[in-house]
Amino acid sequence: MKTIFAKTLVAGLFAATLSTSVLAADWDMPTPYPDATFHTVNINQFADDIKKATDGGLNITVHSAGSLIKHGEIKNAVRGGQVQIGEFFLSLLANEDAAYGVDSQPFVATSYDDAKKLWDAQKPVITELLARQKLVPLYAVPWPPQGLYTNKEIATVDDLKGLKFRSYNAALEKFASLAGAAPTQVEVPDIPQAFSTGQVEAMITSPSTGANGKAWDYVSHYTPINAWVPKNIVVVNKAAFEALDEATRTAVLEAAAAAETRGWEMSMKETDAQTAVLKENGMSVVEPSAELLQGLMKIGEQMQTEWQESASEQAKSIVADFAK
């Protein structure tokens, strides 16, 4: 009887330990951007919401500014299980499938309303593509519309010729090349040094990135050309997600839905607020001339034509749905 009791006790303790290991989890979450960036602020709130909703059953440690894993490696780190969850710039995956980069095509969606409509068309395709890599998308949040940062007023596309131009994905690299500039890949944390050393002389990015990086220390002009409204996406490793109990999975999905809604609202507020910060710190905020916009849109049209020739059928379906 003692032997049977001992075995039963051991089995019970093992079951309790196993149950605890499933119910309690600690996740690492690498992100590319500094703590002050609204995306990271939103993610920290997302992590806090999950911790509260699960009574500490799921704790997510946010590693910001590429401190744990470099931006370009975050997706594969989540896919391979090195970390459980991560954030990255969606169009970084455009080389895998053009569907990932639709939101970074110039002058396709230039307002928040259009960006939301595009995401509605894009999300089902992105979800299917990521599922093939054992990844689950949780939510996506846009950056403010992208503007032009330079050390002089840019009146026409010709004024960009020869400038060393910061790029962050294939679409922007192509865009810079067609404008006659020389593209150079530079991540957000390295922007100030890249300008100070002469590695780059101009860039297209959001007013948020400009204000958080104190762009007035290295450029003098900001032109809100509203070229596109790109997104960051948060994804989770499918196996890690499915290892959670049902209540915790529900808490994660509910926190993600709240983070997406909150993030879009934060982004919209950022546009005016951070543009004002640029101006308050001495930058010249210059409305784009009709000639400049016309020239940039011509480049955009060329890129869209070339994009259609090589894009996957799934990518083309996104544009078709968006155009309805």
- Least Cα distance to 85 among 138, 32, 126 occurs for 138
Q: Are 228 and 101 in contact (CB under 8 A)?
A: no
> pTM of the prediction?
0.87
Given CA atoms 131, 133, 136, 142 in this order, what sign does their dihedral have? negative
What distance in Å separates the CA atoms of residue 148 and residue 223, rounded to the nearest whole number? Answer: 5
Task: Reply yes or no on whether the pLDDT at 17 is more than 50.
Answer: no
Q: Are 88 and 230 in contact (CB under 8 A)?
A: no
DSSP code, position 157: G
Pull the structure tokens for residue 166: 């910061």
**Which whole number is the average pLDDT over 124-133?**
98
Q: Which residue has the tokens 């196996």?
A: 239
Position 149, amino acid = Y
Q: Give per-residue pLDDT as tens, 135-193.
A: 999 999 999 999 999 999 999 999 999 999 999 888 899 999 999 999 999 999 899 99
- Under the banding of pLDDT at 50, 70 and 90, the label for residue 23 is low
Q: Give per-residue pLDDT as tens, 285-313.
A: 999 999 999 999 999 999 999 999 999 99
Pull the structure tokens for residue 35: 């703590």
Q: Give per-residue pLDDT as tens, 69-104.
A: 999 999 999 999 999 999 999 999 999 999 999 999
- Under the banding of pLDDT at 50, 70 and 90, the label for residue 5 is very low
Task: Reply yes or no on whether the pLDDT at 22 is more than 70.
Answer: no
Task: Reply yes or no on whether the pLDDT at 280 is more than 60.
Answer: yes
For residue 290, what is the enclosing H or E element? helix 290-310
Task: Reply yes or no on whether the pLDDT at 13 is more than 60.
Answer: no
